[in-house]
Amino acid sequence: MLSLKNVFTFGFVFTLPLYSQSYSLNQILTLAESKADLILSGQAKVEEAENLKQKAGKYKNPNLSLDYGRRRASNESGPEYALGLSQDFYYPGKRDLRIKIAEAGEKSLLAELEQSKLEYRFSVIKLVYSYLIALEKASHIQDRIKRVSQIESFIEKKVFVSPETKVELYLVQNRLLTLQKHLIVLEKNKSVEWEKLNFFLGLDKEVSIYSPWLLKGKPLTQNNLLAEMISQNPILKQSQTKIQQAKEEVELAKLDKYSDIKLQGSVGEDKSGVANRFFDLGVSFAIPTLDTNEDVVKSMQARAMSENYLLNHQIRILTTRLNSSLIEYDSINKSLDKFSISLVPSIERKLSYADNEFIKGRISLINYLELETQLHETHEAIYDYQMQFVENITEILFLTNNPDFEGAINVK
């Protein structure tokens, strides 16, 4: 099985007191799937295919005919009537092939539904993290504005205002403008990300969401993942079922040159002269002399070849995607090792230390602002790598058809 279960995470909870409701990641996913019209549409298609499969296995209805007329013979006339019954039977082998073709169509739609569910689920997960990261970044900038405002107030209260003090004040005021500009952008980003997420949720207002943050994951086994992808990926499943369907259609086309067999019989009576009763029984079928259906057979064979080529192409594409994702996975792991989510509390401690030391006059404003900028960049990088990891790990999970995100990241 997928060795993604070796990945570790560090839980971090977002709670906003203004929100009356709070949702976990699983609750968000459940809510989103309950309102997924795309998935409901896919389920309806599968139900349609199931009914068509049942239809494909049914025999044709018998035909009943009633005839009545008058006949003249030897200057005598009288009524004539007859009752006929006929039944069409599939040529041997056709019925089973029709059922197999319908089954292949149903399997293809099931694989398509499987793909839709995975894409839907991972889209919601990525939007949850994108929203939470936007929320965290905006909160961080608000905290920076508060800190720099306190520094501004401290400088303004100085008794002796030297040129250097004025320049320091200008630097701080300019930093505040820059931060406020940045906050406007981040608030916009947060609102946009919520709207994207709420497309799947259909809620009236924003809610509090909590989900685990990720730590460095252990190396993955490439060969195992490739084997799982080839055997389980829903895109490849669709191609494989289409190939099987095309092969069955080739065999059906070969049999289609033989028509279905019709058994028919009738009974009747002719009273135009001497009463004459009759009984007929017969069988009818077309003789494949003028049309042997070879063109259709060749067409179906070409289609089967086309689907097979497409499968090989898709395997190469998905293999490249998986290999690239594994390379990115290793790279992001190295970054997560350096920019771990566990560094966030230390950023706060360093900022508090710098605040106190500046107020005590032990460090210069330039050093304070430089440290503040560098810590902000570190904070940004930490959450950027979180988002990269979420995108990367959901890609690997999709390729290997594993919907268990929390199981894969081993939530603590």
Provide the pLDDT for residue 15.
38
Provide the pLDDT for residue 380.
96
Provide the pLDDT for residue 273.
62
Is the pLDDT confidence value at 229 over 50?
A: yes
Provide the pLDDT for residue 121.
96
Is the pLDDT confidence value at 198 over 60?
A: yes
Structure tokens at 247: 């092969």
Structure tokens at 255: 């049999």
Residue pLDDT, tens place only, 371-407: 999 999 999 999 999 999 999 999 999 999 999 888 7
Provide the pLDDT for residue 13.
38
Q: Which whole number is the average pLDDT over 180-201? A: 96
Residue pLDDT, tens place only, 360-370: 989 999 999 99
Residue pLDDT, tens place only, 338-360: 999 999 999 999 999 999 999 99
Residue pLDDT, tens place only, 134-151: 999 999 999 999 999 999
Is the pLDDT confidence value at 7 over 50?
A: no
Residue pLDDT, tens place only, 261-314: 888 988 888 776 666 787 888 888 888 878 888 898 999 999 999 999 999 999
Is the pLDDT confidence value at 10 over 50?
A: no
Provide the pLDDT for residue 275.
66
What separation in angstroms does the CA of 307 have from each of 244, 298, 302, 304, 311? 9, 14, 9, 5, 6
Q: What is the mean pLDDT of the chain?
A: 88
Structure tokens at 17: 């007191």
Q: Quick one: three-class SS letters along the chain?
A: CCHHHHCCEEEECCCCCCCCCEEEHHHHHHHHHHCCHHHHHHHHHHHHHHHHHHHHCCCCCCEEEEEEEEEEECCEEEEEEEEEEEEEECCCCHHHHHHHHHHHHHHHHHHHHHHHHHHHHHHHHHHHHHHHHHHHHHHHHHHHHHHHHHHHHHHHCCCCCCHHHHHHHHHHHHHHHHHHHHHHHHHHHHHHHHHHHHHHHCCCCCCEEEEEEECCCCCCCHHHHHHHHHHHCHHHHHHHHHHHHHHHHHHHHHHCCCCCEEEEEEEEEECCCCCEEEEEEEEECCCCCCCCCHHHHHHHHHHHHHHHHHHHHHHHHHHHHHHHHHHHHHHHHHHHHHCCHHHHHHHHHHHHHHHHHHHCCCCCHHHHHHHHHHHHHHHHHHHHHHHHHHHHHHHHHHHCCCCCHHHHHCCC
Is the pLDDT confidence value at 3 over 50?
A: no
Residue pLDDT, tens place only, 68-94: 877 776 677 777 878 888 888 888 898
Looking at the chain, the whole-number percentage of residues with pLDDT higher than 90 is: 62
Query: What domains are there in the chain, each with its CATH number?
Result: 3-59+93-142+149-160+185-258+294-409 (1.20.1600.10)
Provide the pLDDT for residue 256.
87
Q: What number of residues does the chain have?
A: 412
In one-letter notation, the amino acid at residue 7 is V
